[in-house]
Structure 1
Amino acid sequence: MTRIPGKGRTRRVALAVFASAAVALTGCGTTGGAGGAADGEITVAGTYAIENLDAASPSGGGSTGTQLVSLQIFSRLVKPRADGTLEGDLATTWKADPTASEWTFTLRPGVTFSDGRDLTSADVVAAFTRFLELKSTNANNFTGDTMTATSPTEVVLKSPKPDAAIPYKLALFYVVPGTVTGEDPAFFKNPVGSGPFKVERFDPSGTVVLVPNETYYGGAPALKRVTLRKMPELAARLTALRSGEVDLIWGIPDDQLPQLQQDPALTVQTAQSTAVFTMWFNSSVPALTKPEVRRALWQAVDFATIIKQLYPQTGTLSESPVSPVTVGYVPQQPVRYDPAAAKAALQAAGFDFSAKLRLQFANAEFRQFNQAVVSDLAKIGVQVDLREKEQAVFTSDLLAMNWDINFQQLSNPTFDGSNTLGRLYPCAAKRTGYCNPELDRLLTDAVATPDLGERTRLYGEASKIIWGDAVGMFPMAVKYAYAWNSSLSGVVPDPNGLPDFASIRAGGA
């Protein structure tokens, strides 16, 4: 059985961008009632800063905090459900031409912005043009794309090549009034949108207050007010939840969940996320060019035990390079833990046991997991130099291929395989040192195929190659843990840590 290094000490096992260092929960009383929730007002606490309300901004627009607020105050053409399927938002229907390079979106009639002005196709096109011109991170999904208004209630998006993932990618595009151009800080201090909420107050140092948009096409939300507070310390968030100071938190580490689950005033749920623990091998370095070596290293790690000990509620053994809620998920044959067979395979492949492999990762919450991997590899004589790096250094070295094994928690906000399999694994991506023309062909065919079943089959064939050749190890599918005041109803845990407050009711609301 694998022994987790440091097991028994306070752990830093937290998930996603909302997680922070896990510390022991200090003594505190039980939840002191519904607080403001009884009046239809709730407070939500997270670790993230919300410094910008412009999701198209190249300076922070892609941050999780900005995305969370944006989906409350703006509308999108389409939006993902919690299970990863799409539903219309501003668009009632969407369809592709036979080549999947031209997409037509029919807009919902009668939608207005929160200031009462009609929302038309001209606004959608202007917002999309601005989105591309600002060159934010998410705009990279639409390189060479154009959008035109073919009528007041219809827009057409054209891509330079077939792209069946367009509707999923549009989940990151928010429509602002067509009069907004460039970066407009003044507008985004008190923005006008067509989503379920309006901004009552925005303090970039840590607080956003939302109130219902009475003109929202889906009807004004039941909540009277939502206050989003920055609360980076985990112990503070947990104490605030149990005392009733806040009503909803998420990104809770496993070692804190049992205490919350025993509190009758709280509801605790986990949601399958789009994230997968991913440990790429650098196939361009001599020690790791052979697939049999990479497979043997994977076989040498007892991931089942590591997950059971560190992530008993929020982790499961992964069966694919992508999450079960991602388009393109097809389960693969599990890799069986067998250290004796792994060592024999390495010896047969001529592996140099005297050399050290460099394993890099960022963020302290993943330290114990990677220590456990290093410990298991050491049992068969494989030496690993574990390198914990500051995020900027990690990212720079990742792109420079300055590593032998790279650990990341890869999530997928678009819910589509094109954003992970299609973006990271082709030869041209140069992310792993691995290149396979057959894999490239499958990924190209998958993104060009409008038929969802066929796309899934093609991504499954691509995953089989990635998995079988051990381009990396894919040990764990991640769940996000949510906890909230039991007086709330309609809370839907989101796979990307972006809950929609419009569905929530509080107290007698």
Structure 2
Amino acid sequence: MTAAGLGLAAPALAQSDTRPSLTIAVQKISNSNTLETPREQSNVGFRVSSLYAESLIGTDWLGNLGQVPGLATAWRRIDERVVEFDLRAGVQMHDGRIMSAEDVAFSLGGARLFGGASAGREPPADALAVARRTFPGFERMEVVRQGVVRFVNRVPDVTLEGRIAQNVGVVLSRQGFETAENWQAWARRPIGTGPYRVAEFRPDVALTFEAHDSYWGGRPPARRIRFNEVPEVASRINALLSGETDFATDIPPDQLPIIERNARFEVVGSAVNNIRVLVFDKGHPVLRNPLVRRALTHAIDHRMIIESLWSGRTEITRGLQLGFFGDMYLADWENPRFDPAEARRLLREAGYRGEAIPYRCLNNYYVNQTPTAQVMVEMWRSVGLNVQLQMMENWSQVVEPGAMRGIRDWSVTHVFSDPVGSMLRAMGPLGELQRGQEWTNAEFNQLCTALESSTDRARRRVVFRRMLEIIEREDPGYMVLNQAATFIAKRRDIRWRPARGWPMDFSAANLGFGG
């Protein structure tokens, strides 16, 4: 596709640049209509952020999800509160400047994350809340010397490296932030270090990147990458098959054969570092009783849903945890069993009389979201639960407080290999579940503090187990559905591998043409 076809002014050297351009059809580009990572902590935000912004510590998305050098070539623990980083030399940012230690200190410790910017550039409250949740013990950033920085925490924290690897703390241009017209102008075209720079962002329509040819990791193989927002699955598939796009994301398993029958295309993908859950709002009069919430969890046949709607292509996780937790993984943990008789018994004990329970749902924002919801409503009905499915247009309607908020869909991305990066991030005192006043539990919150502050691995395992007992069994705040899986349809002649997470990697190491 030409630059003119993309609605962009052609670069001066465009005629001599023979690299291909790519077009990707996605169901959603951004939930916040910005690209600032603290504001866009979502599957759709994670998909694109690594194209333009990078962290000191990277993630091996194509391998074991382990930590790898990013904008730091090495790091070391000074003590339980301090991590020191050797910065990669000569990294050119999208504005042509060489990344400095001051850019790093600003990005992880300045006004962009924690506030205090000049008028008009102050980040919105939700972005500041995410920064505080990501770095709750942050004390300061120190520039030891040019090329070396230190992250200093107020309290001991065994998870500092994982926190710093998150895309909340990506390194961006301090000068770009401080000279932007306002925060929104900055947030729609942040200046980072990634292989592609933001060229044009049209909210709810398209997001276009151009190659950052001075990228430290090698010249990008694509000249331009454009993400088109195409909400309907059928339209994304048609766009791919007709040649309008080169990739189509978020393809449900039942649609894969349509694409695989065509020799020009293939489907790639697998389960990723995300778990789909249902959230229960304790503020609803019926759900205030934990017995009703427990009944909801026992009425669902998860295995049947996996086999019928997912063709067995994903798995039910053991609670809100994944195997890459290492020694923090509780391999013997069991989810509430499928037991309709137990569900009916709990409802009788609760004195439930068929009162309506609302279930707010979006139309396939998540793959298979709507059919899964419809199947679960019938399963609940079979044990006597009157769950009313309500289709919403956007996330604001889903989470809007009020008497009609009862059950909703959500997902939790495991941003690093510890429960702090998922359980606390989502469900803790600073997480979305409690900030939205859907659920809270005093003992659980005390355990959150213990999990974050303890450096004793055995003690942390005990604490984590008790947290799961509370929030998944005794006083349910959510119900695990399954490990999320993403399937991407693409032209077969494009050499590209999917990540084990949401990010789409189009760097020189993972993109080729003509084979």
In the superposition, the TM-score normalised over structure 2's length comes to 0.77
The 5 Å alignment of 1:308-319 reads: 308-313=307-312, 315-319=314-318
Residue among 171, 174, 177 paired with 2:170: 174
> Could you give the per-residue CA deviations for residues 393-438 of structure 1, whole angstroms, max 9, x where no partner exists?
32122xx68644443233345565324311444468375545252x
Q: Are positions 1:360 and 2:374 aligned together?
A: no
Contact 1:104 1:156 in 2 (8 A): yes
Cα offset for 1:270?
2.5
Aligned partner of 1:113 in structure 2 is 93
Give the counterpart letter for 2:378 in structure 1. Answer: S
Partner residue, 1:149: 143
1:290-309 to structure 2, matched below 5 A, reads: 294-309=293-308
In the other structure, the counterpart of 1:265 is: 264
**Could you tell me which residue of structure 2 aligns to residue 504 of structure 1?**
510
Structure 1: how far apart are the matches of 2:370 and 2:212? Answer: 43
Q: Number of residue pairs matched?
A: 464
**Structure 1 SS opposite 2:350:** coil
**Distance in 2 between the 1:42 and 1:452 partners?**
46
Aligned residue identity for 2:413: S
Runs of 5+ unmatched residues, structure 1: 1-37
1:444 paired residue among 449, 469, 488 = 449
Aligned CA distance change for structure 1 residues 488 and 449 (closer, same or farther; 3 Å): farther
Within 1, Cα distance between the matches of 2:272 and 2:299?
27
Between the two structures, name the one with larger relative contact order (CA 8 Å, sep ≥ 6).
Answer: 1
Q: For 1:462-495, what per-residue CA distance to the aligned partner results, in whole angstroms no more than 9, with x for missing partners?
A: 3244333251321222111112111122322352
Amino acid at match of 2:330: V
- Is the CA contact (8 Å cut-off) linking 2:29 and 2:227 kept in structure 1? no
How far, CA to CA, are the matches of 1:135 and 1:314 in structure 2?
40
Q: Which amino acid aligns with 2:257?
A: P
**Which of 468, 486, 499 is 1:463 aligned to?**
468
The equivalent residue for 1:204 is: 202
Q: 1:94 aligns with which of 59, 62, 75?
A: 75
Does residue 1:373 correspond to 2:376, yes or no?
Answer: yes
Change (3 A) 1:362 1:324: farther
CA contact 1:357–1:405 (8 Å) conserved in 2: no
**Which of the numbers 441, 447, 459 marks the counterpart of 1:435?**
441
Q: Structure 1's 393 and 193: CA in aligned 2 closer, same or farther, altered over 3 A?
A: closer
| Sequence identity percentage | 21
Question: Which letter does structure 2 place at the counterpart of 1:344?
Answer: R
Query: Does the CA-based 8 Å contact 1:72-1:195 persist in structure 2?
Result: yes
Partner Cα separation in structure 2 for residue 157 and residue 73 of structure 1: 23
**Contact 2:189–2:201, Cα closer than 8 Å, also in 1:** no
Q: Structure 1 residues 425 and 357 mapped into 2: Cα distance closer, same or farther (>3 Å)?
A: farther
**What SS does the aligned partner of 2:441 have?**
coil
Which one-letter code corresponds to 1:370 in the other structure?
Answer: A
Preserved CA contact (<8 Å) 1:74 1:174? yes
- Find out whether 1:135 has 2:138 as its counterpart: no
Q: 1:98 to 1:291 in 2, by over 3 A?
A: farther
User: Could you tell me how far apart the structure 2 residues matched to 1:188 and 1:84 are?
Assistant: 28
Other-structure match for 1:32: none
- Does the 8 Å contact 1:50/1:207 carry over to 2? no
- How far apart are the structure 2 equivalents of 1:73 and 1:393? 30
Work out whether residues 34 and 188 of structure 2, in 8 Å CA contact, stay in contact via their aligned partners in 1.
no
Q: Is the CA contact (8 Å cut-off) linking 1:426 and 1:435 kept in structure 2?
A: no
CA contact (8 A) 1:93 1:106 kept: yes
AA in 1 matched with 2:464: Y
Using the TM superposition, give the Cα deviation of residue 76 of structure 1 relative to its aligned residue in structure 2, in angstroms: 1.9
Query: Residue deviations 1:435-461, cap 9 Å, x none?
Result: 252x44443233235687875675345
Any idea what the Cα deviations from partners look like across 1:161-205, whole Å, max 9, x if unmatched?
Answer: 444433333322222233223472577887654222345x42526
Which residue is 2:57 aligned to?
Answer: 78
Report matched runs for 1:324-335 at 5 Å: 324=323, 329-331=329-331, 332-335=333-336
- Tell me the equivalent position of 2:12: none
Question: Any conservation in 1 of the 2:265–2:490 contact (CA below 8 Å)?
Answer: yes
Structure 2 stretches of 5 or more lacking a match? 1-17, 116-121
Displacement of 1:272: 1.7
Query: Aligned-pair distance for 1:90?
Result: 0.7
CA contact (8 A) 1:276 1:409 kept: yes
Distance 2:37 2:20 in 1: 32
Alpha-carbon distance in 2 for matches of 1:195, 1:53:
20
Q: Partner letter of residue 123 of structure 2?
A: K
After TM superposition, give the deviation of residue 285 of structure 1 in Å.
Answer: 6.3
SS of equivalent to 1:45:
strand
